[in-house]
Amino acid sequence: MAIYARCTNCRKDNPFTSKKCTKCGNKLGSKFQVRVRDSQSGKWFTKITPSASLAKQIEAKFKVQLIEGELLNKKKKSHIRFSLYLEQAKLQKRSWRDDQNRWKNHIAPNDFKTRQGIKKILNNAKAKGLQPATINHILKLIRRVYNWHIQEGYWHQENPCKGIPLLKHDNRVNNILSHGEIDRLVSYLQKWNNRRAALAILFAIYTGRRKGEIIDLKWNNIDLERKTYTCEQTKNGSTLSFPLNAKALAVTLEAESIRINNIVFPSSTGHKYSAGLSLAWGRLRKRLGINIRFHDLRHTYASLLASSGKVDIYTLKTLLGHKDIKLTERYSHLSDTRLRQSTEVIDSLL
C-alpha cells in the first residue's frame, strides 16, 4: 500500500514527497494515486485523488478495510466445512451419526453450495425412490449446517436453502410389524443363542425405547424393587423414568443373570454396543424375512397401544417421551376402537 505523486504530463508515478517528476521534470502536487494490493487475489486496486490530504484519507480507509477483511467492499470469504459442524453436533446431538451418514451419502458428493445444486440433490433423492420424510431430513440438514456456519461467522452470504419448501407428506406411521410377525420374532428371540442382542431387541419390543436409549442403559438406571427404569439424556434432551411391564421386567432379570459390568445390554465383549446391534438386527431380519428397521420396533409398540383402545394419546405421548403431541398424533389414525367407543357414548346420552 502506498501513495504516489502522479505527473499530469507524462503520468509517471513518483515518490509521494517528490516536487518534480523524475521523468519529465514537470511540477507535481495536483494529482496523487493510492495503490493497494489484495493479498487474496493478487490484484492491484488504484484510486486517483486531487489532493494529498484526500489520498491519505483513502489510504487510511483501505487499511481499515484490510484489517476487517473487507478490502474495497469485497465480501468476506465464506466456506462450509461439515467437519466443523459435526464437532459441535457430537457434543449436543445424540443423533449426530444420522447427520454424518446423510451428509456422506446424499450431500457431500454433490454441489450443495448453490440453490440449484441443492434442488438437484433433492431431485436425485426423489428419483432414487427415497421417502418424502427422508428427503426433508436431507434438506433440513443442509439448512441446519448453513445456519450454524452463519451463526459462527464462517458463512457470510444468505442460506441457499432459503425459500426451498419441505415436501408435504402423510407422516402417519404404517411400517410396523403385524401380530403374526411379532409372535414369530419374539419366539425366535426367546431361543436365539445370541442372548445379549436378543435381550436388547426384546426390550425394544416391550418398551418402545429408541436403540440409543437401550444401549446407554446402565444398571444404576434400573430399580427392580420399584420396577422402573430411567433413560438419561433422551433424544429430546430430558431424563425420563418409565415403569417396567412384566415382559420387560423378565428381560431385565435375564440380563441381570448374565451381568458383567454396569451396562444393562452390553455387546458380547462387554462393551457398549456401537454397530454390533445393528448388524445383529440385520442378520435377524434376513433370517425371518422381516423388512423393517430397528426403529420400527418403536413404531410397532406405539401403534399397538394406540390401536388397543385402552391408551389415550396423551398417555402414549408420555410413554414415548415425546415433547410435542404432534409426533404422537402420527399413531392416532390407528386408534379406531377408541374412536368408536367414544362416538358410541352419544347412544347412552340421547
pLDDT given for residue 198 in this prediction: 96
pTM over 0.85: no
Q: Which residue matches cell numbers 448388524?
A: 279
Cα–Cα distance for residue pair 303/297, rounded to 1 Å:
10
327 in the same domain as 202: yes
- Residue 87, C-alpha cell as written in the block: 464437532
Residue 161 lies in a domain: no
Classify strands 44-49 and 32-37 as parallel, antiparallel or unpaired: antiparallel
146 in the same domain as 7: no
Give the mean pLDDT of 140-148.
Answer: 95
Higher local confidence (pLDDT), 309 or 147: 147
Residue 322 lies in a domain: yes
Cα–Cα distance for residue pair 302/308, rounded to 1 Å:
10
Mean pLDDT value across the chain: 86
Total domains in the fold of the chain = 3
Contact 260, 266 (CB under 8 A): yes
Cα–Cα distance for residue pair 249/17, rounded to 1 Å:
91
Q: Which residue matches cell numbers 410413554?
A: 319
Give the residue numbers spanning the domain of 89. Answer: 82-152
Higher local confidence (pLDDT), 199 or 304: 199
pLDDT digit string, tens, across residues 230-273: 998 777 677 889 999 999 999 999 999 999 999 999 998 889 88
Cα–Cα distance for residue pair 321/309, rounded to 1 Å:
20
pLDDT band at 347 (very low <50, low <70, confident <90, very high): low
pLDDT digit string, tens, across residues 112-133: 999 999 999 999 999 998 888 8
225 in the same domain as 330: yes
Contact 15, 21 (CB under 8 A): no
Contact 280, 185 (CB under 8 A): no
Give the mean pLDDT of 195-210.
Answer: 95
Give DSSP secondary structure letters for 219-269. GGGEETTTTEEEESS-TTS--EEEEPPHHHHHHHHHHHHT--SSBSS--TT
- Residue 291, C-alpha cell as written in the block: 423388512
pLDDT digit string, tens, across residues 46-61: 888 888 888 888 888 8
Higher local confidence (pLDDT), 343 or 139: 139
Domain end point (choices 55, 73, 91): 73
Give the mean pLDDT of 19-29.
Answer: 89
237 in the same domain as 316: yes
